[in-house]
Amino acid sequence: MHRWIKNTSRPLREHFRVSDERWNHLVGRLRLQLDAPRPDFYDEVVWTFLLALTYAGGGWDGVRKLESILSGSSVEPGVRHPIWLEALPMPPRKQEGNTNVDLAIGAIAGRAEKEGGIAYDPDSGSSVTFCEMKWYSDISKNVTHDQHRNQLSRVIENAVAFQDNGQRVDRVTVTLVTPRIFVDTEPKSRLYHYKVEEYRRNPAILLTEWKRSYEQMPKRSQSDWTYPDEDRLRDLLESRFKLRHLSFEELFENAPESAFTPLLADFLEGSNGSLVRYGRKPSA
């Protein structure tokens, strides 16, 4: 697998937006597992990288398929939206640092002033998908300025406020990706189980959460970036926002066939012990 990534790095990188330093870090992190495999591998950063590689191995058709599955919407033929790993949208709150979006795809451009920074690109479409990737970990609830704030709510706020020079994204999807054992299961064992259910049932709850923390964390407002007004947020959340929960396994199972496919199958066989314990065989 490492040799394949090295030999195809140039065409692969065409489908990604990630710095050389970060690419080398991800390849090195994967190499550690390849050299000293653990039968139950839970590094969600590497799983996200592998997922992106699996679809990028299918060329732009594969990347379009990834965007379609993650967003739950069709993607027009010919669209070329690269995969952003660990992307940093402009923070919507003055006292909050950049939110690290594990994987982002859609109408996105880079922000020159920030390594890994992203902004809305209206010239390449009207929708974006932000993904939060978890393996065994839960969404974080440790926030400095607002003890009621949780990681999923924060990612969603970043997504619905996504913009560039006053132009705002029109359609937003936030997709949580976890192992299949945590998707639509009872009894619930993670905080994200409850928050996904709550936000889907009544997206207006998000507005209530955000408004509660405006005093502790004021809304960002500057010459080229303004926090959306409440009417716009409400309209987007009720009409043009989707919150999805998918599994890594489902995404791997639907990936395009490529030279990477048998390499991935070998990796899954030796590294996906969680599925074996729960009576499921790893799937290529």
In a domain, 31, yes or no: yes
Condensed to tens digits (0 to 9), the pLDDT of residues 79-122 reads 999 999 999 999 999 988 899 999 999 999 999 889 999 999 99
pLDDT of residue 146: 65
pLDDT exceeds cutoff 90 at 148: no
Structural contact between residues 91 and 97, judged by C-beta atoms closer than 8 angstroms: yes
How far is it, in rounded angstroms, from Cα 91 to Cα 144? 15
pLDDT exceeds cutoff 70 at 142: no
Condensed to tens digits (0 to 9), the pLDDT of residues 14-51 reads 999 999 999 999 999 999 999 998 888 999 999 999 99
Which pTM was predicted? 0.93
How far is it, in rounded angstroms, from Cα 106 to Cα 82? 8
In a domain, 211, yes or no: yes
More confident residue, 272 or 165: 165
SS3 assignment, position 237: helix
Its domain, for residue 267, covers: 2-277
pLDDT of residue 215: 86
Q: Which amino acid is at 210?
A: W
- Work out the angle at residue 116's Cα, subtended by the Cα atoms of residues 122 and 65, and round it to the nearest 5 degrees: 60
pLDDT of residue 112: 85
pLDDT of residue 277: 38
Condensed to tens digits (0 to 9), the pLDDT of residues 130-141 reads 999 999 999 987
By mean pLDDT, which of 16-30, 196-210, 230-244, 269-283 is the weakest? 269-283
In a domain, 118, yes or no: yes
Structural contact between residues 64 and 79, judged by C-beta atoms closer than 8 angstroms: yes
Q: Which amino acid is at 133?
A: M
More confident residue, 278 or 228: 228
- Binning pLDDT at 50, 70 and 90, where does residue 282 land? very low
Total number of domains in the chain: 1
In a domain, 243, yes or no: yes
- Binning pLDDT at 50, 70 and 90, where does residue 273 land? low
- Binning pLDDT at 50, 70 and 90, where does residue 284 land? very low
Integer CA distances (angstroms), 240 to 17, 171, 206, 269, in order = 26, 5, 14, 39
In a domain, 135, yes or no: yes
In a domain, 52, yes or no: yes
Q: Mean pLDDT, the chain, as a whole number?
A: 91
In a domain, 282, yes or no: no
Q: Hey, what are 18's tokens?
A: 């990630």
In a domain, 17, yes or no: yes
